[in-house]
Chains A and B, each alone.
Chain A
Amino acid sequence: MAITPRFVLLLALGVVPIVALGGDSLADAATVLGVWLAFVLVLAALDLVLAASPRLLSAERVVPARLRLGESAEVQLFLGNRGTRALRGVVRDAWQPSAGADTNRQRITLPAGERRRVSTRLTPTRRGERRVEQITIRSLGPLGLAARQATLEAPGRLRVLPPFHSRKHLPSRLARLRELDGRTAVMLRGQGTEFDSLREYVRGDDVRSIDWRATARRSSPSLAPSLMVRTWRPERDRRVVIVIDSGRTSAARIADEPRLDTAFESALLLAALASHAGDRVDLLAYDRLVRGRVQGASGPELLSRMVDAMAGIEPELIEMDWTAVPSLVRGVTSRHALVVLLTSIEAPGAASGLLAVLPELSKRHTVVVASVTDPALQQAASARGSRNEIYWAAAAEQALLDVERVSAAIRQSGAEVVTAAPAALPPALADRYIALKAAGRL
């Protein structure tokens, strides 16, 4: 039950009859007051009785299953009036706040036995699963003085995927990849390539790539002698294993983006690139439990499965357990692979777990450790105007030196290091991948 502002206004209007009819006598005025109160209450009660029941409703939702963060979608709620009276009132569709509903209260008129659509525009502000559990209906009476109110169950959910802003870097990196491919045309032989096929020599081919044995086999008395050359192409069907650290340190916000989200962006760009290059990509998000896993997917399915797995992952406030990572990687592939660890490189003390397992990993695989650096540190390090700024700069330089020291230790144990600011990390990691591929280290 609820009363409306109109009820309040009507109650306040009682001043007029009390002053006009009550006159100087307290008893008369009190009588008028009593009569007015009774009148208003009776009207409100009548209104309540005549209001349509807010419980006799059916509710059905049409919600898109997935939505990228930053995009908007229209979600629809179909309300059917199963009662015998027309319902007039307000409906509240109670989406979670970060679903970003443009409005959550809408007027509605539902004739008996009919259905109406209530649509809401959602612009989610956070990735993950956004839910709605209930709707609340306030059914006004014919006079608009009082309303019946009920909350009905009408669950719905919308999966908000990571935005993949870094896909803007994809075309330029794919062009670089094609350049790498393009070397086959000039028959450049070397690291990062593998044998493709044999064909006849045409003018301009590198004489060094003539395969004399194949030429001899091909030569027969009946045919004109022709030289056979080998062709080469970049390595394909390599394994890339991306391990995302979803532990404590991934919660830190750098340039208004959690480390974890930057790691997702980097992983998505790398996966898109690697799957175009013909490599197989597997993804693991891990802290002490596997929070997300994508294995054995390829092509467009890979990216959609990856964003789907990432949507629900939030930073956990526990320490990353590095000791389990080698066996996890072994579980994914027993072959040599490119293992990309998306984590944070900070103080030497915090990195000891990572440093302990790196030799084991880098013995079997090519390992890249990627980490976000804080652009605020660089800024603080260069401002030296006052006493406080010098201390800030000293602390920032100290932090950068720590990062440098840990990076050196990581390189020492045979792994590569990629560090960059949040916006620059995904392309930097992609470039490193292309460089490694060109160098044949996959």
Chain B
Amino acid sequence: MIDTAARPAAAPALDPARDPALDPALAPAVTPTLRASGRKAAFWLAAAAGALVVAVIALLLNGAAIAGGPALGRANPAPVGAKAVAEVLAAQGVDVVTADSLDAALAATAAAAGRATLLVYDENALLDSEQIARLQDAAAHTVVVDPGFALLQGLAPEIGFGGVSAADQAIEAGASCSSAAGERAGSVAALPGAGLKTLRIPADAAGYAGCFTDGAGASVLVQGGGQDARLSFLADPAILANESITAAGNAALALGLLGEAPTLVWYLPTLADVAAGAPPSMAELSPGWVTPVMVLLVLTGVAAAVAYGRRFGPLVLERLPVTVRASETMEGRSRLYARSSARLRAVDALRLAAIGRIAGRLGLARTASLDEVVAAASAATGLPLHAVRSVLVDEQPQNDSAMLALSDRLAGLEGAVIRGTTPPTSTPPTERMDP
């Protein structure tokens, strides 16, 4: 369709390339240039950048307040963190070492050469029984906060859970308390409106002593285990948490328990402890190129969508005329007849039309009366007068089959009239006209 025609026929035969004055001007572009669309979008770009800057500044200003971390985190200033007690211990000369895996914790206690306290708080029960067994003799003093079932089973199977103490009630150290720290603290309490979790020492369990025993005989602090490595179970993390450290003697108990040795290993188990024994994942089994190839294929799909979806110029508008089907009124009327089973009305419409045609066929005037038409039709067909009159006027169909039959008879009568008025075609055909 493309060829190298010089010019339209009407134009003079000049080469427009050499004569720019004759060449038509540039066609004006409708598509905005990159610069123009950039200028148009400048406000929104500036607004987006401004919003981003405001967000960053707000984040930097309020960053401290919304800093988070794990519950009882060493550096977590949130209400559930334990930065307060850790900072006080550090200020008192205790070397607080943070560990986030069992190996790191054991290495730290080993480095302290037996003069370390190990704090374990396994909030999400990540440690398995083998790992718990390795904790057993790790440090001179191990403080287990809020022990779960696995920890109790592994370290002190005799001890059971004691439920939650009554709310809004400080628990006194009690006479049976043999712990110096416990005695010094005097009493412990949770936040107002909450109780403390407790542990229960069965009567037949030997070697364990409970402090802060409530009226039901369950203790908040249970100590015991072995000759050299002492084991403490602090049943409730609220004792150490920032939000409740100042209640009753909580702070004194915390400092007394954790500040005994020059080194405190602060160990909160993390996911690093779990992965150790799991079976190899799909990602480890598949070769390294699988993920990049998948990324590439996704990008290819996106590129294909862009390549084929890019619109080739704007849509073309065209006003189209309305389309109205002429037979709609007729169809609507027939459905109305059918829905209301208007048999007589339908048949009468057919009769009126047939009477008009018969009258025309028989050469009657438009003004001829019904009786005249009936009489003429009877005479033309030889049918009895009452039969013709019944078909054309009198009969009223009571059901659909009667209506069908009547319609057939009406058509039959019309056919008979036509036959009756057609002259016999026995005459020979006319001859050709003379030229």
Contacts and interface: CB of A to CB of B under 8 A. Distances in A.
Given A14-B296, A57-B26, 9 more contacts: A26-B288, A33-B295, A109-B2, A115-B17, A117-B5, A119-B1, A374-B326, A384-B411, A393-B350
B338 interface: yes
Contact of B287 (A4, A23, A149): A23
Given A2-B310, A12-B297, A22-B289, A401 B321 contact: no
24 contacts: A4-B307, A7-B303, A7-B307, A15-B296, A23-B288, A24-B287, A29-B291, A29-B292, A37-B299, A55-B29, A82-B26, A106-B1, A117-B5, A136-B313, A149-B310, A151-B314, A259-B326, A315-B322, A381-B353, A388-B334, A391-B338, A392-B330, A395-B331, A399-B329
Interface of A: 2-5, 7-8, 11-12, 14-15, 18-19, 22-30, 32-33, 36-37, 55-60, 62, 76, 78, 80, 82, 90, 92, 94-98, 103, 105-109, 113-120, 126, 132-136, 138, 149-154, 251-254, 258-259, 314-315, 317, 346-347, 374, 376-377, 380-381, 384, 386-388, 390-401, 404, 408
Nearest to B322: A251
B228 interface: no
Contact of B330 (A4, A105, A253, A396): A396
Contacts of B326: 252-254, 259, 374, 376
B293 interface: yes
Given A82-B26, A399-B329, A118 B2 contact: yes
Nearest to B345: A394
B338 A3 contact: no
Given A7-B303, A394-B349, A151 B404 contact: no
B321 A314 contact: yes
Contacts of B25: 58
Nearest to B338: A391
B296 A399 contact: no
A152 B28 contact: yes
A136 B407 CA distance: 64
Contacts of B382: none
A253 B23 contact: no
A8 B303 contact: yes
A153 B24 CA distance: 13
B324 interface: yes
B308 interface: yes
B432 interface: no
Nearest to A44: B303
Sort A-B residue pairs by CB-CB distance and give the 5 closest, nearest first.
A136-B313, A394-B346, A395-B334, A113-B17, A252-B326
Contacts of A105: 312
Interface string B338-361: 100000011101101100100000
A143 to B, nearest CB: 14
B307 A8 contact: yes
Contact of B30 (A30, A151, A254, A346): A151
Contacts of B318: 96-98
B330 A399 contact: yes
A258 B321 contact: yes
B27 A317 contact: no
Contacts of A401: 349, 352-353, 356
A80 B22 CA distance: 12
Contacts of B400: 387
A378 B185 CA distance: 110
Contacts of A376: 326-327, 330
Contacts of B30: 134, 150-153
Contact of A8 (B287, B300, B349): B300
B306 interface: yes
B337 A92 contact: no
A108 B4 CA distance: 11
Given A8-B300, A108-B2, A19 B293 contact: yes
A118 B1 contact: yes
Contacts of B317: 96
A179 to B, nearest CB: 16
A92 B296 contact: no
A113 B23 CA distance: 10
A393 B289 CA distance: 75
A387 B403 contact: yes
Nearest to A317: B322
Nearest to B308: A5
A58 B26 contact: yes
Given A3-B306, A391-B337, A62 B10 contact: yes
B289 A138 contact: no
A114 B17 contact: yes
B322 A152 contact: no
Contact of A394 (B289, B303, B347): B347
B434 interface: no
A149 B333 CA distance: 56
Contacts of B304: 5, 8
A11 B300 contact: yes
